[in-house]
Amino acid sequence: MKILDFKYSFKVCLLLSFSIMVLSVNKISAQTQSKRSDWVQASFQDKNPLHLVNIGDADLGVRYKKGEGTPIVFVHGSWDDHHSWIHVAEILSTKINNPIVLYDRRGHSASTPDKEQGTISQDVSDLVLLTEKLGFRKAHFIGHSYGANIVVKLATDHPEIAESIVLYEPPMFGVLKDKPEYKTEMQQVKKAMTTSKSLLEKGAIQEGTIQFIEKVAFGENSWKEVFDDRARSTMLASYRTWLDQSNDPERLNIHPERLNYFQGSITLIVGTNSIPVYPAVANELKNKMEKIQVKSISGAGHGGLISHVNETAEAILLSLKSDK
């Protein structure tokens, strides 16, 4: 009996030792991958340092990787800055040789702060001026969230400068207006947005920011699960710019149906795990635009450019190839 107990105990010890070894290897592998990702990002930033580009009445913080062919210009959304696109941009830089431009929109991070009420038209004008200042006649424009709204308005107002556009879940909630099938989604977003704005105006910066991030944009627990310390700090510091944007009388003056006259390719990227209002917007945009190409990223939400970097980069690459 003692011999059997000894054999059993020995097997258990072996099994435990093997399990600990596997966990240790997995932990080391994860740490190595994380360090490699950090090194890659640092390398991209070191090779393409942030610098200011004057566009007249403002300076914009820009990272510019030189290359050949039509440039790719990334436009970030509300709250964050150019860093939201930096992982995707780095992957693209290893696969194609096009010039790549990332920048902080006016009122964000390194760029000139808003001195008066900003408008989406001003964002579009800044983007046009930056493109011209860098010496480009046309570009591929890629926008995330409100940055995608800016790209749509750019393509409809200045189609001569846009070779193609890629839109990652533009919050064009206006296309859902007066449609009973989307009444619940619209009520939820409107209520959450109103609450967020009220909190921010009262000075509850962190509470109001998290309210918007988790209830309007990226989903429950995204504040900690999707974003790192750098992103969270940037968002908290950007609340004034978002409040300014929420008061912009032009922000809803976007007409996606005009993209039917746009000559370049149009790609819409949607995550399968996004807050319901974004797939709803995507459905309406598909109904309004005849030639739009829709690419879904399985498991991604509104922050897929951060959580699903490779898949987002691949969707953009496919879009660029289809435009040739």
Residue pLDDT, tens place only, 212-226 = 999 999 999 999 999
The reported pTM is 0.87
Is the residue at 242 inside a domain? no
**For position 42, what pLDDT does the model report?**
61
Residue pLDDT, tens place only, 232-275 = 999 999 999 999 999 998 887 789 999 999 999 999 999 999 99
Report the C-alpha gap between 118 and 135 in whole angstroms: 26
Non-local CB neighbours of 138 within 8 Å, separated by 6+ positions = 70, 160, 161, 162, 163
Only one residue has tokens 């829709």, namely 294
Is the residue at 14 inside a domain? no
Q: How many domains does the chain have?
A: 1
Is the residue at 185 inside a domain? no
**For position 324, what pLDDT does the model report?**
63
Is the residue at 261 inside a domain? yes
Q: Which of 47, 144, 64 is nearest to 99 (CA)?
A: 64
Which domain covers residue 291, as residue numbers?
41-177+255-323
Q: What size, in residues, is the chain?
A: 324
Helices in the chain by DSSP H: which ranges?
Answer: 2-47, 86-95, 120-133, 146-157, 183-201, 205-212, 222-225, 229-237, 239-246, 277-288, 304-307, 309-323
Is the residue at 99 inside a domain? yes
Is the residue at 9 inside a domain? no
Is the residue at 36 inside a domain? no
The token pair that represents 187 in the structure block:
């009520």
Is the residue at 275 inside a domain? yes
Only one residue has tokens 């795990």, namely 273
> How do the pLDDT tens digits run along the chain, 324 residues long?
444 454 445 444 444 444 444 334 344 333 333 344 454 456 888 999 999 999 999 999 999 999 999 999 999 999 999 999 999 999 999 999 999 999 999 999 999 998 888 999 999 999 999 999 999 999 999 999 999 999 999 999 999 999 999 999 999 999 998 899 999 999 999 999 999 999 999 999 999 999 999 999 999 999 999 999 999 999 999 999 999 999 998 887 789 999 999 999 999 999 999 999 999 999 999 998 888 999 999 999 999 999 999 999 999 999 998 766
Q: Which of 237, 249, 290 is nearest to 107 (CA)?
A: 237
- Residue 147 is part of a domain; what is its CATH number? 3.40.50.1820
